[in-house]
Amino acid sequence: MAYYFDEPSRTFNEYLLVPGYSSKDCRPENVDLSAPLVKCRSGKKSPIRVNIPMVSAIMQAVSDDRMAIALAQEGGLSFIFASQGIESQATMIRRVKDHKAGFVKSDSNVRPDHTLADIIKLKKEMGHSTVAVTEDGTPGGRIVGIVTSRDYRQSRMPADLKVSEFMTPLADLIYGEDGISLSEANDILWDRKLNALPIIDKQGRLTHFVFRKDYDSHKQNPFELLDRQKRYLVGAGVNTRDYSERIPALVDAGADVLCIDSSEGFTEWQKDTLSWVRARYGNKVKIGAGNVVDRDGFLFLAEAGADFVKVGIGGGSICITREQKGIGRGQASAVRDVAAARNEYFGQTGEYVPICSDGGIVYDYHMTVALAMGADFLMLGRYFARFDESPTARLNVGGNYVKEYWGEGSNRARNWQRYDMGGESGLSFEEGVDSYVPYAGPLKDNVEQSLGKIRSTMCNCGVLNIRELQSKTKLTLVSATSIVEGGAHDVMLKEPGQVNR
């Protein structure tokens, strides 16, 4: 006879946090939201920690290098999507790592014989107003000048005008020599009132740019997630098919942590992948695994060597695995069960394996509920897909701005490796949908607001860090009626723009 769990499969929406005693120290500015990302021994600090408990999902529509930089600036981490070529993924990793300490590799480059039309096209594609002009048009070529928005007027210059005729030539450039410190470069920017400073080596080749805006950005982002070389931390997804080729390329590119991207992690395929990593790299390469939804799945992956375990099957907004296959579990029930297994494993082995809640977040307060139930950090897809920094197009649909968002199990993504069960390659049916999400603007503004809600809620619970939240907070199940009661009810809501009289 099949095994039956004692209680229904619960979601985060079925729980509320109960306030606790709040001292005068319980203020949002005192709340610490840092969390361990990878496993550690009892009494030791995790080798990789995030400054905010947010990571972006391993999805084409969510996590590329632009998202990774923006999220790292806020203290979180992105996992660059794996459903692409190995070199393409490695290139995205290198772009993030090359953003180190304000020294930026140029990704907007032209030759002197290119035209104004090429400049306009490049600016539209890349979003950068500073373009390097090198002899061969490569990022590391011999520099002959730069073009900024001050060098041309699109309305008064012909589109076929050669770049060499309106660029600022090398002879007129103020630049720094390769080996200059960031502090020295910033001093030149400020003293000479520049917006960009090219860094050039002894052979006259462009190595980096230093931008004034990056200096300002660093001061505005005190929680930046950086490695020892002051480069942004970045993760990458891998699969259980081509890991022996993909992982070395990603490690060489500088990926700080990897994660097996799969809809179901309780498999021999994941054990083989983890075993290969440990045999080749020992514990130097950090790799998470998943997804699982119960104690048995967690213990399997923890014992196989996973550095963290991802929790959740079918809870994503674009995931239809439960609908298609009848497989999964409510996210709240899954997180509670796996968190209990993690604590049990820690008590027995002295090894703490963090868990990541992946899916099931609809409202911001669900983030706090998930953390209170035991999640160390959260993986979010729909949440980040709405922002400027996601890789998808912003469209106007029915008078409203939206961003495209599709699941890795959709025909659009064709990420059959994520749903691989060892058979022939290809999707036999879809487990994800192709959709839109409401456009929400810049990542920074939205993340700050969400974190502000989490900090405020934690203060209401009388706690100042995630560990206290998990050990001291009380939660209560809510009825359908109390869910209705929790929103606006028994009133007539004003229409937007309606004025009181």
- Tell me the C-alpha distance between 85 and 118, whole Å: 27
State phi, psi for 295 to the nearest 5 degrees. Answer: -60, -45
Give the bridge partners for 131, in sequence order: 147
What letter represents residue 471's amino acid? S
**Contact indicator for 308, 37 with CB cutoff of 8 Å:** yes
**Contact indicator for 451, 52 with CB cutoff of 8 Å:** yes
What letter represents residue 351's amino acid? E
From the list 35, 36, 38, the residue with the least C-alpha distance to 305 is 38
Whether the link from the prior residue into 221 is cis, omega within 30° of 0, is: no
Q: Which of 26, 259, 319, 459 is catalytic?
A: 319
Give catalytic status of residue 418 as yes or no. Answer: yes
Q: Which of 10, 336, 342, 418 is catalytic?
A: 418
State phi, psi for 332 to the nearest 5 degrees. Answer: -65, -45
Measure Cα distances from 209 to 175, 199, 496 in Å.
9, 6, 46
In 254-291, where does DSSP find H-type helix? 268-281
**Contact indicator for 119, 167 with CB cutoff of 8 Å:** no
Task: List b or e across 346-355, with b for residues whose CB sees 16 or more CB atoms inside 10 angstroms.
Answer: beeeeebbbb
DSSP label at residue 423: S
- Tell me the C-alpha distance between 17 and 26, whole Å: 16
What letter represents residue 140's amino acid? G
Angle at 164 between CA 163 and CA 169, to 5 degrees: 115
- Tell me the C-alpha distance between 341 and 71, whole Å: 30
- What residues are labeled active site? 319, 418
